[in-house]
Amino acid sequence: MTAALLLTALALLGLGIAACTAERTFRVALALQSGGAALLAVCGFWALAAGSSFGSAFSGAFAPRFGVDGLTAFFLGMLGLVAAPTLLFSARYLDSRPRGRLVAGLTGVFVLTLAEVLCARDPLTFLGGWELMTLLPAALILIGRSDEGARRSVFLYVAVTHIAGAGTWVAVLLAAHAGVFGGASVLARGSGLQVAIALAALVGMGTKAGVMPLHSWLPRAHPIAPAPVSALMSGVMIKVAIYGLVRVLVDWLGVLPLWLGVLVLALGALSAVGGVVYALFQHDLKRLLAFHSIENVGIIVLGLGACLLLRARGADTWAALALAAALLHTLNHAVFKSLLFLGAGAFERAVGSLELDRLGGLLRRMPWTGAAFLVGSLAIAGVPPLNGFASEWLTLQALVHVPAYGGLGDGLAGALALAALAATAALAVFCFVKVVGLVLLGPPRRPSVADATEAPIPMRAAVVALAGVCVVLGVVPGLLVAPLARLAPWPASERGTLALHLPGTGSLPTVGIALALGVLSLLLFVMRGRRVAAPAPTWVCGQLVQPQLAWTSAGFTKPLRLVLEVVLRPEREITVRTTGGVVQEVAYSGRVPHLIDERLYAPLVRSGLVAARHARRLQSGHLGTYVWYLIALVLVLLAAAKAGLIG
């Protein structure tokens, strides 16, 4: 039954892709694709709730196999949930863009590829889909724009994900070789093979997920893609890498040594804090959102790290809950991040550029999109009663239970990760207050923004639907937590309730909190009575209120930049032009350099280029030289064979 539904959903998607070829059927095509994705969401969550699995099981043999189990079903549901509104949004977003039909068709193929990776049950199909999943967005970006900057970014994206992505190949092939692909046999805890597979997976899949310090491609590639593609990349593609990590680290490798759990926690904490700190100092909305993806992947990885540590300490119930926390945050982030990217796309379509300091006042001009964007911002900032808070709460609980069950070392690691997550949450509030203020509130900061009009109905419907999902997932997260905790390969039972009542916590009655906040706010608002408000100009110590006094992104984040100066090393330059002792002009420019790029990658790239220059000397172009090379090689090999080193 579910299998038939799933096949119908995929067939609808395929039909929609085919229909993209003709101009006349463009809208129908996207409606078909969107419907297929919605059906995919339904059968994914259905299969998760029913706990059903169908199709083949995992096998290390190299023949194409497909199947669905609980974990796959959850990720398929997430893919459908994000893809359906995104494709609906594309119907109006892409029709006015150059080569829109091609982009729409390939977007559908991208969705199918992601589904293929999730359903793959043998190493070859998995790796093939994995590579296609990397290449398709590159193609989608280059179809949309082919300027120098975009080509450079895409080259960097493909290069980084392929060099580090080799880790995925190593992990998957080693796992297939050792017979743990699918978790059929068990490796000894802490054995070389187990650790090697885990580390290779962390490098390969961590790169694809955007875990710091392997994230360098993410903030370059995500912002330049068309909005629906950005939404799918940030919302789902990096989550498929999380799926891979969960499969390898939690599902297949058994109990890992403690230090690996601590390493995963450290990577998560670095990504969470690093991602949000750099996001704060971005001036372009989409680039800022891309850095926030790194932050949220960090939070997910923190949940995974807690799961590994608690599992290693034998606290199975909390390990399962930590896994549920990571997966719940994966879903929540998929929803609010695609909402924010689609909202940014709608704003871009309405006003042109997304430079933060030159927007403003969009809540009044685009009330539907603006309100949905506000909901998404509150969700990503992790404030109750929205979904971001529910999963951050569960992650915090998982982390606080690490010291409760742990020894000194892993306990302290858990406490530090807890502090890092709390600081991340506060920084995310900081960042999204800034975004909301600069984009939605205040006066428009540029004439074209003042003339902005609301987006067409399909685009509006897409973002409003996602905002609705944010609210629903925030109010009833408890229904999902129990099935997610059951996905753990060890026995752990959690009963599902509407709210989150967990032993050892003060419980999170999400419905009660939402009601309390809603009812109290409304009550207080009504109690204040009819406003007899005097209109007045803003108080700026008696000065005239002028547009030049408007605050900028850089101004708002300055205190934090000063506090973090030691770590971030911001650069600023002030040039004063004077004539005859009178100051004519003061020019200020400042930026926060990306330290990991400049201190880690730039030297690597430089030394790589230097090595290449030296290697080039070998290529003289004379036939005689190459003959000598061959003779030397043969001699060396003979000598080695003689010495017994080879053969």
Minimum separation from the CB atom of position 523 to another protein (A): 8
User: In terms of CB distance, is 175 or 420 closer to another protein?
Assistant: 420
User: In terms of CB distance, is 154 or 436 closer to another protein?
Assistant: 436
Classify residue 607 as exposed, middle or buried by CB count within 10 Å of its CB (0-12, 13-18, 19+).
exposed
Residue 420 lies near another protein (rule: CB under 8 A): yes
Residue 3 lies near another protein (rule: CB under 8 A): no
- 332 near 303, Cβ under 8 Å? no
- Pick one of 425, 459, 463, 487: the residue that binds another protein (CB under 8 A): 425
Q: Which stretch binds another protein (CB under 8 A): 123-131, 293-301, 339-347, 418-426?
A: 418-426
Contacts of 613 (CB under 8 A, 6+ apart): none
Minimum separation from the CB atom of position 522 to another protein (A): 8
User: In terms of CB distance, is 135 or 562 closer to another protein?
Assistant: 562
Question: d(Cα 440, Cα 443) in Å, to the nearest integer?
Answer: 9
Which of 432, 225, 463 lies closest to 335, judged by CA?
463
- Pick one of 30, 267, 400, 465: the residue that binds another protein (CB under 8 A): 400
- Pick one of 257, 442, 456, 468: the residue that binds another protein (CB under 8 A): 442
Which of 46, 49, 26 lies closest to 101, judged by CA?
26
- 81 near 17, Cβ under 8 Å? no
Minimum separation from the CB atom of position 503 to another protein (A): 9
User: In terms of CB distance, is 174 or 511 closer to another protein?
Assistant: 511
Q: What angle do CA 566, 569, 573 make, to 5 degrees?
A: 130
Structure tokens at 78: 């997430």
Q: What angle do CA 388, 390, 394 make, to 5 degrees?
A: 115
Structure tokens at 339: 């909402």
- Pick one of 128, 213, 437, 489: the residue that binds another protein (CB under 8 A): 437
User: In terms of CB distance, is 78 or 310 closer to another protein?
Assistant: 310
What is the bridge-based pairing of β-strands 582-591 and 54-55?
unpaired
Minimum separation from the CB atom of position 271 to another protein (A): 17
Distances (CA, A) of 261 to 238, 255, 267, 311, 453: 21, 10, 10, 9, 50
Structure tokens at 294: 């790194």
Residue 266 lies near another protein (rule: CB under 8 A): no
Minimum separation from the CB atom of position 541 to another protein (A): 7
Contacts to another protein from residues 147-166, by CB under 8 A: none
Contacts to another protein from residues 335-394, by CB under 8 A: 363-364, 378, 381-384, 389, 392-393
- Pick one of 4, 11, 422, 640: the residue that binds another protein (CB under 8 A): 422
Residue 411 lies near another protein (rule: CB under 8 A): yes
Size of the site for another protein (CB under 8 A): 85
- List the beta strands (DSSP E) in 277-354: none
User: In terms of CB distance, is 493 or 521 closer to another protein?
Assistant: 521
Structure tokens at 386: 């929205």
Minimum separation from the CB atom of position 233 to another protein (A): 27
C-alpha 231: how far from chain center: 9
Structure tokens at 456: 């067409």
DSSP string, 265-290: HHHHHHHHHHHHHHHHT--BHHHHHH
Minimum separation from the CB atom of position 388 to another protein (A): 10
Contacts to another protein from residues 290-319, by CB under 8 A: none
Contacts to another protein from residues 500-539, by CB under 8 A: 504-509, 512-513, 515-517, 520-525, 528-529, 531-539
Residue 13 lies near another protein (rule: CB under 8 A): no
Minimum separation from the CB atom of position 15 to another protein (A): 44
What letter does residue 52 receive in the DSSP assignment? -
- Pick one of 51, 64, 190, 443: the residue that binds another protein (CB under 8 A): 443
- Pick one of 22, 426, 457, 641: the residue that binds another protein (CB under 8 A): 426
Minimum separation from the CB atom of position 436 to another protein (A): 6
What is the bridge-based pairing of β-strands 67-68 and 571-579?
unpaired
DSSP string, 170-196: HHHHHHHHHT-TTS-S-PPTT-HHHHH
What letter does residue 579 receive in the DSSP assignment? E
Residue 570 lies near another protein (rule: CB under 8 A): no
Residue 416 lies near another protein (rule: CB under 8 A): yes
Contacts to another protein from residues 549-568, by CB under 8 A: 549-551, 555-560, 562-563
Minimum separation from the CB atom of position 71 to another protein (A): 27
Residue 433 lies near another protein (rule: CB under 8 A): yes
- Amino acid at site 523: L
Minimum separation from the CB atom of position 132 to another protein (A): 40
- 196 near 226, Cβ under 8 Å? no
Minimum separation from the CB atom of position 554 to another protein (A): 11
Contacts of 151 (CB under 8 A, 6+ apart): 142
User: In terms of CB distance, is 235 or 382 closer to another protein?
Assistant: 382
Give the chain's length. 647
Distances (CA, A) of 270 to 166, 375, 385, 416: 23, 27, 27, 11
